[in-house]
Amino acid sequence: MKYLLSILLISFFPISAFAKDISFQSGFISAILKIEPSEIVAREPSLLYLEFKDNSQLFSFKRCDCYIKITSANGKEIINKKLEQNEQYIEDRVKEIPFTFGETGVYTITIGGQSVNKVFPTFTMSEKLEISLKHKTEGEKRFENFKKTLLNLVIPLAIILIIAGISSRFLIKNK
Position 9 pLDDT exceeds 50: no
Q: Is position 9 within any domain?
A: no
Buried b (16+ CB within 10 A) or exposed e, 153-175: eeebeebeeeeeeeeeeeeeeee
Kindly indicate the confidence band of residue 134, based on its pLDDT and cuts at 50, 70 and 90: confident
49 forms bridges with which residues in the sheet? 34, 96
Query: Domain range for residue 111?
Result: 20-131
Q: What percent of the chain has pLDDT over 90?
A: 14
Position 87 pLDDT exceeds 70: no
On whether both 40 and 87 belong to a single domain, the answer is yes
Q: Is position 53 within any domain?
A: yes
Q: Which of 84-98, 105-119, 122-136 has the highest mean pLDDT?
A: 105-119
- Estimate to the nearest angstrom the gap between the alpha carbon of 61 and the chain centroid: 22
- Estimate to the nearest angstrom the gap between the alpha carbon of 85 and the chain centroid: 25
Question: Phi/psi of residue 168, each to 5°?
Answer: -65, -35
* pLDDT tens for each residue of 137-160: 777 778 888 888 888 888 888 888
On whether both 65 and 150 belong to a single domain, the answer is no
On whether both 150 and 101 belong to a single domain, the answer is no
On whether both 142 and 164 belong to a single domain, the answer is yes
